[in-house]
Structure 1
């Protein structure tokens, strides 16, 4: 079983681990592609003006270019601890038990634009790159889709895909019967559903945390839906084959009255 998460634009900087070692990352068959994307990022970072445009950086974000220049030699931390933001705040990896982190190491994968799919405890440095960034000579979707999709599909077992569409395109999966693409939607009293943004990320983080903490290896969609119900989540078939809706009551997703 694999649980796939998107990365986040915001990340913890620094680290205590040794510098990047591509061979230490999960899915070693992707090492050549990783090296190619890293080289393209280094080429982009050599031109600060071009890098600022490509990465959509404002004046306060220009330091990210230096972070990218140092990506091969800077310190690392486990991937699950590198990312921050709404989803990862809800996942709250720092408070997971030792057994939950061990389960995550086996079953949780994060889809990076720079490194492709990486394991939860893979040591990675800080960087700035999104799935939509244009790199010199590299189109990320075309570069990653075939190799990363093949690597993920070859892992076998059920795949629970919580990635956003942009990151799912970097590693498309095979038969829907072996994967579940989860969308978070709110539902009102009349049963109408709508996509969410902030609560999409938060709910995915809570769902991922619950699954990692459970330590249960799910082998089928039926087992996933049964587990979800027992864990307090509502998972129902979506509009397309292989898509499932993770429902959030509309009242729970509405901002508090008078919130600032």
Structure 2
């Protein structure tokens, strides 16, 4: 099983490990795209006005550009610790024990706009780049979509896709063994509606529960639904080939 998380705009700064080392990142087939994109982002950061436009930042967020200037020399930390925000606050990776973090290293990846897929414990620097950023040269979709989709298609087990649709566009998880998780709420009349803020929180809590319980194996959607029920989550399997999701089957996480 591979649990696929979105990144976060907000990140912890600093780190206690050495600067970026491409050979330390999972999914080595993505290295050519990484090695091409990182220098392009560094070059973009040397022109603050252009970077603000390309990264869609306001003047108050101009300081974020500084992270991109030192991408190749700044310290790193595990990806799951680097990201903050609603999803990652609910997941609370720093509080997980060694066994949970080892399970995350085997079963969790984050889809970064800068590095493509990275393992949960891969060491990465602080950076600013989003799925809709515009880096000079090829668009991010051109750089990532086929390469990421190929990596996900090659995964031998279940792919549990918790990404936003913006990141699905940068590399769909296409295959019978992939499920896209959509968080919904049900009102008193039984009507379902999508959630925003609580969508991220629910995904963080769901992932944390997986890391704490460490089920082995979860080979298919039915096994995932059964585990979720026992862990206190309502997960409802939907139809295959959900529109716009690259052929993934959709499941609903009822929050």
TM-score by length of 1: 0.93
Q: Between 32-41 and 121-130, report the one with greater CA deviation.
A: 32-41
The equivalent of 2:201 in structure 1 is: 202
* 2:52 is aligned with 1:52: yes
Unaligned ranges ≥5, structure 2: 242-248
Distance 1:102 1:122 in 2: 12
The equivalent of 1:253 in structure 2 is: none
The equivalent of 2:140 in structure 1 is: 140
Aligned match for 2:250, one of 224, 235, 243: 243
The equivalent of 1:32 in structure 2 is: 32
Distance 1:60 1:15 in 2: 24
The equivalent of 1:255 in structure 2 is: none
Distance 1:55 1:200 in 2: 24
Distance 1:206 1:22 in 2: 30
The equivalent of 1:8 in structure 2 is: 8
* 2:91 is aligned with 1:83: no
Instruction: Within 5 Å, give how 1:35-184 maps onto structure 2.
Output: 35-175=35-175, 177-184=176-183
Distance 1:23 1:54 in 2: 28
Q: What's the Cα RMSD here? A: 1.1
Q: Do the aligned residues in 1 keep the contact of 2:235 with 2:251 (CA within 8 Å)?
A: yes
Distance 1:195 1:141 in 2: 26
Distance 1:209 1:143 in 2: 31
Q: Do the aligned residues in 2 keep the contact of 1:131 with 1:170 (CA within 8 Å)?
A: yes
Distance 1:126 1:50 in 2: 20
Tell me the CA shift for residue 42 of structure 1. 1.8
